[in-house]
Amino acid sequence: MPEANTLTAEEKDAGFRLLFDGKTTAGWRGYRRETMFPQWQVIEGALTLVPDTKPDHGHDIVSVEQFTCFELRLDWKLGMRGNSGVMYHVRETANAPYETGPEIQLLDDLNHPDAKNGPERRAGACYAMYAPTVSTVRPVGEWNELKVIVDGDHVEHHLNGRMVVDYVLGSEDWNRRVKASKFVDWKGYASERQGHLCLQDHTDRVAFRNIRIRPV
């Protein structure tokens, strides 16, 4: 297995670059801040959220850069009953990043209560919109491999080598689902085609590594 936070020769040839160097939080900052939240630390080569003693939401972080069409690959790991997410096309015009950017759900499906609220809230889902077609999430404590492809309006979520979600932003089906969701009153939701990547603070410890991206 390649060393963490490095690119393989194939990835370099394909145009990937790292968004996390495995040593610092360079390239990331707090949502609507110029600096990084102290709750995010680099631990054993992973960008890790270490919740406060009294956990509180609000320490989401975003990439300094903005992206339009891309392939994102990263590894993520949660603890028991963990919950987090990765968002894209996030704009800093709302109180929270999930009000503008669609979310790829990261969850301990077996133990977190949100998994019982519907399949569209389970690991790999487009949160509250599209359920994964198959469960591929690994046991708690193991690393999961996420790949997200945003090619124009077409978006794919791949989890541990399997495509689990496939949708088209702004399509008739997408708009129908938005109207039936809590997002219907959020005027900025999924309206942009460029924005930041976001790693979510959902009060649970979560770690990310091997964060790399290429344009498509």
Say what the pLDDT of residue 52 is: 75
Superfamily grouping for domain 9-215 = Exo-inulinase; domain 1 (2.60.120.560)
Distance CA 114, CA 194 (A): 29
Contact 196, 90 (CB under 8 A): yes
Say what the pLDDT of residue 57 is: 64
DSSP, res 53: S
Q: Long-range contacts of range 181-188, CB-CB < 8 Å, 24 or more positions apart?
A: 181/128, 181/129, 182/128, 183/128, 183/129, 186/94, 186/99, 186/100, 188/91, 188/93, 188/94, 188/99, 188/100
Residue-level pLDDT, tens digit, the chain, 216 residues: 679 999 999 999 999 999 999 999 999 999 999 999 999 999 999 999 998 765 566 799 999 999 999 999 999 999 999 999 999 999 999 999 999 999 999 999 999 988 888 999 999 999 999 999 999 999 999 999 999 999 999 999 999 999 999 999 999 999 999 999 999 999 889 999 999 999 999 999 999 999 999 999
Say what the pLDDT of residue 34 is: 96
Say what the pLDDT of residue 1 is: 66
Where are the chain's structural domains?
9-215
Distance CA 122, CA 120 (A): 6
